[in-house]
């Protein structure tokens, strides 16, 4: 690829020495030149540092005290020297044509700053069929992205300048940091999508963040509360308010069923406040 398509691969990891080789090797097996692979170790205690230095000494290794995946990715973004960034979670795996197919399409659309692909889900060594509600899209997909996260980080290739402009991932969100960033990106950007699974996304293991945190909608609410009133077009801001009301109503009914009446009334008050903005 030409120099305009120099690409850095960012792999955040935390105590995943057992899955790192699969992820790293899937990058090394790509059919396109990669400028650098950056491993950001988020405070691992399983010997990740020694493992990387012994087995992959040519990779760029950065250690940080445990601050979460968003901080790790953000350090990778700031440290990268390429003008394109590809993300890969340390428990996922790329097919060997992933990057070449994405970069080929980007060359045809030089105005585009973001591309993602479909994925294959693997749970307990078995392929899991995705529900229709998890369908992914290209184009201007802000509205489709409000209900749930429709982009997997491990499928993404993005212009580094766009990530820098938007200050990367929100480090205050324990999970759903991708949902938050994709909303900010899709608000103003047409994105490309390859309707073909080019990664294997592994799940079901105990250390997976989305498993350890019940009530993923809580973090969607946290993100929407933060984003409303920021620099979004009026119509998009209104849609965020409506989606936030919908999600809070679900929490309100749950609180009422569990007898948490004070919490229920707190939610109802917030719904009334938000409704007044419509």
pLDDT of 1 strictly over 70: no
What average pLDDT is seen over the chain?
Answer: 93
**Phi, psi angles (nearest 5°) of residue 22:** -60, -45
Residue ranges and CATH numbers for the domains of the chain are 3-212 (3.90.550.10), 228-275 (no CATH)
pLDDT of 31 strictly over 80: yes
pLDDT of 205 strictly over 90: no
Digit-coded pLDDT (tens) for 233-261: 999 999 999 999 999 999 999 999 999 99
- Confidence at 36, pLDDT banded by 50, 70, 90: very high
How far lies 118's CA from each of 101, 111, 193, 195, 200, in Å? Answer: 12, 22, 8, 6, 9
Q: To 10 degrees, what angle do helices 216-227 and 177-186 make?
A: 40
pLDDT of 3 strictly over 60: no
- Confidence at 134, pLDDT banded by 50, 70, 90: confident
Q: How far apart are CA 124 and CA 121, in angstroms?
A: 10
pLDDT of 207 strictly over 70: no
Q: Does the predicted TM-score (pTM) go above 0.85?
A: yes
Q: How far apart are CA 204 and CA 201, in angstroms?
A: 10
Nearest Cα to Cα of residue 48 among 15, 3, 78, 85: 15
């Amino acid at each position: 690829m030409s120099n305009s398509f120099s690409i850095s691969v960012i792999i955040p990891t935390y105590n995943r020495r057992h899955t790192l080789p699969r992820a790293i090797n899937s990058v090394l097996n790509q059919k396109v030149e990669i400028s650098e692979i950056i491993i950001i170790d988020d405070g691992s205690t399983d010997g990740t540092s020694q493992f990387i230095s012994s087995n992959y000494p040519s990779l760029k290794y950065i250690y940080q005290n445990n601050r979460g995946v968003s901080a790790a990715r953000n350090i990778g973004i700031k440290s990268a020297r390429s003008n394109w960034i590809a993300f890969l979670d340390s428990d996922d795996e790329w097919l060997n044509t992933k990057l070449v197919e994405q970069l080929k399409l980007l060359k045809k659309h030089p105005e585009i700053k973001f591309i993602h692909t479909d994925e294959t889900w693997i749970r307990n060594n078995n392929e899991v069929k995705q529900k229709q509600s998890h369908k992914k899209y290209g184009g201007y997909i802000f509205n489709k992205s409000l209900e749930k996260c429709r982009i997997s980080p491990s499928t993404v290739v993005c212009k580094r300048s766009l990530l820098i402009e938007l200050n990367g991932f929100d480090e205050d969100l324990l999970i759903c940091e991708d949902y938050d960033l994709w909303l900010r990106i899709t608000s103003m950007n047409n994105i490309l999508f390859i309707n073909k699974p080019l990664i294997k996304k592994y799940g079901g293991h105990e250390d997976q963040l989305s498993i350890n945190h019940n009530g993923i909608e809580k973090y969607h609410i946290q993100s929407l509360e933060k984003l409303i009133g920021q620099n979004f077009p009026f119509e998009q801001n209104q849609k965020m308010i409506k989606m936030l009301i919908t999600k809070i109503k679900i929490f309100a009914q749950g609180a009422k069923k569990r007898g948490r009446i004070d919490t229920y009334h707190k939610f109802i008050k917030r719904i009334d406040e938000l409704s007044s903005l419509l």
